[in-house]
């Protein structure tokens, strides 16, 4: 079974390096969520009986899509692989969101933006008369760009988690909570054990 990548060291530089941030999220999602079916298939205990030639029939079986997995295997997968991976990604997104909402004294474009803002205050622009007037609008601060990226990645994360949790619930057949409830309960259990 695939293991998630190690958590990155959380620094503002990591967050502002959006390529590194997105690469970490992509690799983490690829290791666990994108290959969730393979990970769940790896939990199924191999057959104890010998090979059955009738299992190679060309007919497509009807009924449940796949075998259910033992509850202990599912629980271990969720507690040791799935939830920790989700938690690391949540920690990264939460940290970078806090960086995005904090003042950025090291923004390399802040002086340039201030000069442009002064010039723009004096300029009168009518977008209907000048369709190219957008070039006169102020540049976005890197904290604002980071906040936009974090919002987008959180949306992606919600979609991916809902899909993964749907497959886990279908294959494990024991948990009817939604993924947010299950993750929050896992967090509470983890806090109690610390």
pLDDT of residue 164: 93
Question: Could you tell me which of 144, 80, 141, 145 has the C-alpha nearest to residue 108?
Answer: 141
Helix (H, G, I), strand (E, B) or coil at 52: coil
Q: In this predicted model, what pLDDT tens digit does every residue of 162-173 receive, in sequence order?
A: 999 999 988 887
Mean pLDDT, the chain, rounded, equals 80
Q: Where are the beta strands (DSSP E) in the chain?
A: none
Question: Rounded to whole angstroms, how far apart are CA atoms 67 and 69?
Answer: 6
Neighbours of 125 (CB within 10 A): 13
Question: Rounded to whole angstroms, how far apart are CA atoms 128 and 71?
Answer: 63
Residues of the chain with pLDDT under 70: 1-2, 45-68, 105, 107-127, 131, 133-139, 174, 194
For residue 35, which phi and psi values (nearest 5 degrees)? -110, 30
Say if residue 153 is exposed, middle or buried (CB neighbours under 10 Å; 0-12, 13-18, 19+): buried
Would the pTM count as exceeding 0.85? Answer: no
Question: Rounded to whole angstroms, how far apart are CA atoms 84 and 117?
Answer: 44
pLDDT of residue 117: 63
Residues with Cβ within 8 Å of residue 89, at least 6 apart in sequence: 25, 28, 29, 157
Q: In this predicted model, what pLDDT tens digit does every residue of 76-105 receive, in sequence order?
A: 889 899 999 999 999 999 999 999 988 776
């Amino acid at each position: 079974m695939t293991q998630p990548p190690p958590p990155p060291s959380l620094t503002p530089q990591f967050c502002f390096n959006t390529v590194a941030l997105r690469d970490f999220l992509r690799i983490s999602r690829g290791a666990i969520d994108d290959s969730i079916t393979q990970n769940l298939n790896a939990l199924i205990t191999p057959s104890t009986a010998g090979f059955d030639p009738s299992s190679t029939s060309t007919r497509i079986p009807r009924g449940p899509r796949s075998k259910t997995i033992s509850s202990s295997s599912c629980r271990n997968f969720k507690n040791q692989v799935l939830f920790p991976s989700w938690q690391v990604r949540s920690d990264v997104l939460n940290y970078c969101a806090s960086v995005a909402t904090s003042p950025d004294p090291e923004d390399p474009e802040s002086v340039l933006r201030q000069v442009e803002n002064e010039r723009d205050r004096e300029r009168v622009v009518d977008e209907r008369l000048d369709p190219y007037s957008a070039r006169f609008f102020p540049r976005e601060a890197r904290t604002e760009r980071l906040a936009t990226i974090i919002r987008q990645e959180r949306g992606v994360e919600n979609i991916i988690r809902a899909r993964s949790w749907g497959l886990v619930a279908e294959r494990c057949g024991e948990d009817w909570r939604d993924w947010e409830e299950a993750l929050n309960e896992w967090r509470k259990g983890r806090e109690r054990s610390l």
